[in-house]
Structure formats: C-alpha cells, structure tokens
Structure 1
Amino acid sequence: MTTATVPAPSTRADAPSASSAYRLSFGHLLRSEWIKLTTLRSTWWSIGLVALVSIGLSLLMATSLASFAGDVPPMPVVEANRQAVQVVVFSTVLTQLLAMILGTITVTGEYSTGMIRSTLTAAPGRVAALFAKAIVLAVTMFVSSVVVFTAAALVSGPILPTGPLDLGYPDSSVLPVLGAALYLALIAVMGVGVGFIIRNGPGALAAGIGLVFVAPILVMFFPRVESFQWIHDAAGYLPSNAGQSLFMGSPMTGITLEPAPALVTVLAWTAVVIAGGIAVLKTRDA
C-alpha cells in the first residue's frame, strides 16, 4: 500500500508570495476609491454645481457692490482683500451642503447597491477602506474648491470697486481662500463619517445638513439676552460657524473665533464624526 502525500502549501508553485504585486496595500485602496469616486456621475454633478453656484454668487455680489461704487470710500489693502475674499467664498454657505451630500452618498451609495460587501471583503480590516475613501474625497474636494475659488476671483475681481485680491498680502488673500477650500474638504470627510454611522441615504443627508446648516439657523431663534448667552457662545463652535470664522472673519451665528481655534474646532468635529464612523463600521455587519 502506498501513501499519497500533499506538498506543504509553502512549496506549491502556485502559492501566493508575500511580495506579490497583487497584494492589497493602502495605495491600492486609494486607487480603488479614486476609480469609484470619479466614475460616479453624481461626483461630477456635485462639483459642477459647486462651480456654478460659487461663480454665480461671486458675480452677483461683485455686481451689487459695484452698483454702490460711488459711495464706497477708499479702503486699505487688507480691508479691500477682506471684502474680495467674502465675495469669493460667500458661496460656501450653500456649497457646504453639496460637500456634505457628496461625502454621504459615496458611502450610502455602496450600502444601497451592496458594493460595500466587496469593499470590506477586499479590505477586511475595514478602517483602511474608510480612511482611503476619506482621503480621496478630501483631496478631490480641496483641489476642485481651489480651482473654483480661483475662477470666481478672476471673474469677480475686475468688477469689484476695490479691485481684485492683492496677493502681496497673503494673510488677507491667499490663506482665507485656502481655509475655505480646506473647510469644504473637511465637511466632505464629515459626510463620510456620517454615512458610515447612519448607512441610509436620506437619514445621513438629514443628519449632515442638520449639523452644518440647520443648527446655526436655530440659534437665531434665541434672543441675545443673558439667560441665552451660553447658547450663542456654544454656537460659535458649530462646524459651519467655526469655518466661517476661519475664512470669512465672522460666523452666521454665535461668537467669532480666532483662526487657530476655528481650525482646531473644525478638525475636532471631523475627528469625532470619523471616530463614530469607525466605531460603527468595526462593530456592525455590512
């Protein structure tokens, strides 16, 4: 009688090598998320709407200011830059909603189609897939926002009575615009976190829009009296109010924060929401 032996897996010619070119890496996850993001029509619709709204509102504000040009006294360069920046980035009041929507649908879209199962099968650690999605979306939103704001500045600058942005003073021209682009990128990342927490498209959109748009408006219903002052103080730390303090100099509601605390506040909100997304992703089935 003979005994058949099976070679050890490590000696088989077809056994995968630890150094195989097809081994999953974080770079591969980034490439996968980039392909998924750029092949969605909703991505390009969202970016197109951001561009249309941003440039359109900048033109509208610049034209309105130009109509009162005779009544505007000469301004110092820093003040003129501040006005030009407000014209360029004013659209973030609306485009932050599109950034949040884009962030949520990149996640909830996978849950609705079942693609999330393939994603998590390829990346069983799960957290790496979340970070890859957030990084790709953040970079895309930041770069596209910089391009859109640049176009808005070029179009509105010649119309403004105080002239276009003076780049010789970057603290009052370049940095606020970059701050606005960074804010939109972080809002999109928050959308990713909200999407993983709620996993339902309409529910995630409602939660995200409520956080960045509705919550600051609700503060307006509280009078500025001593008994409600704590609400107005706390409102300055809402994501959208902190973001507006960062790049516009004053928020819709609440107290005004200095640039550094404002940036830390937006980063903290992003970290908390992403941490919530990680917790749900790690503890619940797809």
Structure 2
Amino acid sequence: MTTLTSPSRVRFGDLVAAEWIKTRSLRSTWWTIAFAGLFVTGSAAVAALADYRNLAAGTTVRRPADFLPFDAYPQPRYMTLMLIAGCVGAVTVVSEYSSGLIRATTVAVPARGSVILAKATVTAALWTAVGTVVSSGSFLVSQAILNERHTGVSITHPGVPRTLVASALLAPVCALVGLGLGVLIRHSAATMATCAFTLLMLPTVFSQSRRWSADANHTMVVAAWQRLVQNWGPEPGSRMFTATVPGSWTVYALWPLIAVVVAVLVVRKRDV
C-alpha cells in the first residue's frame, strides 16, 4: 500500500546552496573576479611605484608616519571595481530572466522573496570575500613598495583599519545594488547602463560647494567610500562641505538594504 506524503518545505539553507552552485558554475564570474582583483591590486602597485620614484627624485616630501590612502586605493581603479561588482551582481538575476530559468526557479520555489534573499546572501558573501582579498592585497603590495623608502605604514596605523574595511565592503555594497537593479529592470543592457549611471555618473552631477548639492552627493556610495578612506578634514577656509564618517557608514548600510528590500517586494507582486 502506497502512502502519499506532502513534499518537504524547502529550507533557506537549501536555497543558498542552490544559488551558490549556480554562481560557481559560471566560468565568466571567476574570470571577471580574477581580472578585477589583478587590475586593482596592480594599479595600487603602479601608484606606489610612482610615489616611490618621486621620493627618490626628491619631488615628494613625506614623513614616515604619513599614510596616503590613494597609494593603496587609487580612485579610478576602485571605481572600476564598483562597476564590475555592480554588473556581476545584476547578472545574477538578469541572466535567469533572459534564459527563462527564473520560471523553473519560481515553480520549484514559489516563495520568490526567499529566492531573492538567497541570491543576495550568496552575492554579499562572495563579494565580501573578493573585496577583503583585493583591499588587503592592495594595501600590502603598496606598503611593501613604499617600505623601500621607509615610508610604508603598518596595518595598525591610524586610519588604516577604517580604510581597509571601507574598501573591502565597497564591492558587496555595489554588487547588492546591482542585484536590486537587475530585479527591477530585468534587461541586461538597460540594467548595466543604469548601474553605471547610479554608481559612478550620478554623483558627479552634485557639487560639494553648496549645502543641498553636497548633501545629495554625500548620499552616494562612491562619495561615502571617498570620505571613509580620507584621513584628513577640509582645508582651512575651504568652502567645500565634507560628509561625516558616521553618515558615510550609514550610506554604506542603506544602499544595499534598500536595494534588497525593494527587490523582494517587487518580485512578490510581479509576474515572472
């Protein structure tokens, strides 16, 4: 005699495991991560070498206790990392919509919000690991070069821990923003363009010389990162409005949180 049993409820851990299998099975993801890591770390080495040569030529005066964060974290290269992380985070969702796999996923797991949360968990964990490796590598490589001129600093130097953490978290913040945009837009080209505009182009619209414009600029991810890695305040007499460190950490927290919450709400109410 056959006994019919109801199917067991899918656990969140199972969803996370399934999303991890999807992510690691894409070779393009690993090639992209490797390229981004080598590019950013190599750029830190190039920036440090430039300062190294300037010190040798006597064109740069620097005390051994100084820490210039953009030797280790060149701004244009970290903006490239922001764009790559955001686009890969978007592809996590957009690729399923374009291939039609999302239909099979929602049939297997009707709880669409849980699926998005699982994707967000895997994306955050992966890019936090990537960001930590890249941030630490950039710092260690740059300071090893500058140590040849006795101008490198240790990881415990004032300002360094905050800079390391902010740079490590920049990648997962942008990846989650990209994931949220992917759920909202669902089309590859439009999502990539919106991601680039939101993360990199929109902040340049706002000046820091006027209060309202500076306040708008300070709500952007790239502006928050720049403030967190900056170890000095505004120049005396400067008319520029500078963001606060607590405010910048708040921006770091709110962007991915809002992106994921909106994505969960949208996917629950919209047809696949």
User: TM bucket by the smaller chain?
Assistant: 0.7 to 0.9
State the Cα distance separating 1:255 from its structure 2 match. 4.0
Q: Distance in 2 between matches of 1:142 and 1:165?
A: 24
Residue matched to 2:166: 179
> For structure 1, which segment, 267-276 or 24-33, has the greater mean C-alpha deviation from structure 2 after superposition?
267-276
Which of the pair has more CA radius of gyration? 1
**Aligned residues between the structures:** 260
The percentage of counterpart residues that share the same residue type is 26
SS for the counterpart of 1:15 is coil
Deviation at 1:243, TM superposition (A): 2.3
Is this contact kept in 1: 2:94–2:186, CA < 8 A?
A: yes
Give the structure 2 partner of residue 212 of structure 1: 199
Partner of 2:3: 13
Q: What is the CA-CA distance between 1:106 and the residue it aligns to?
A: 0.8
- Give the TM-score normalised by structure 2: 0.87
Residues 249 and 256 in structure 1, CA contact (< 8 A), matched pair in contact too: no
Cα offset, 1:16, TM superposition: 4.1
Q: Which amino acid aligns with 2:118?
A: A
- Once the two structures are superposed, residues 46-65 of structure 1 have per-residue CA deviations (whole angstroms, 9 ceiling, x without a partner) of 21121122122111211111
2:107 pairs, out of 108, 121, 141, with 121
- Any idea what SS the aligned residue of 1:285 has? coil
Give the match for residue 36 of structure 1: 22
Shift of 1:178: 1.6
Aligned to 1:155: 141
Unmatched runs of 5 consecutive residues or more in structure 1:
1-6
Q: 2:181 aligns with which of 188, 194, 202?
A: 194
Unaligned runs of 5+ in 2: 233-239
- CA change 1:48–1:76 in 2 (3 A) is same
Q: CA deviation at 1:14?
A: 4.4
Q: Distance in 2 between matches of 1:48 and 1:17?
A: 41
Assess if the C-alpha contact under 8 Å between 2:49 and 2:145 holds in 1.
yes
Q: Is the 8 A contact 1:153 1:165 kept in 2?
A: no
- Mark the CA change 1:242 to 1:162 in structure 2 (over 3 Å): closer, same or farther: farther
SS state at 1:67 partner: helix
The alpha-carbon deviation at position 125 of structure 1 amounts to 1.3
1:236 aligns to 2:218 (yes or no): yes
Measured in 1, the distance between the counterparts of 2:134 and 2:62 equals 28
CA contact (8 A) 1:54 1:88 kept: no
Other structure's SS at 1:68 match: helix
Aligned match of 2:70: 86
Instruction: Letter of the 1:136 partner, please give it.
Output: V
Shift of 1:248: 3.7
| Farther off after superposition, 172-181 or 199-208 | 172-181
Native 8 Å contact 2:83 2:199 kept in 1 = yes
C-alpha RMSD of the superposition: 2.3
TM-score, structure 1 as length reference:
0.83
Give the CA deviation at 1:17. Answer: 6.8
Cα distance in 2 for residues equivalent to 1:163 and 1:192: 40
Residue type of the partner of 2:134? V
Q: Aligned to 1:53, what secondary structure does the other structure show?
A: helix
Partner Cα separation in structure 1 for residue 243 and residue 64 of structure 2? 23
- Greater shift after overlay, 191-200 or 46-55? 46-55
- Are 1:272 and 2:263 counterparts? no
Letter aligned with residue 227 of structure 2: S
Q: Where does residue 51 of structure 1 map in the other structure? A: 37
Higher mean alpha-carbon deviation, 109-118 vs 87-96, is at 87-96
Corresponding position of 2:228 = 246
CA distance in 2, matches of 1:249, 1:122: 50
Deviation at 1:147, TM superposition (A): 1.2
Taking the aligned partners of 1:154 and 1:167, their CA distance within structure 2 comes to: 9
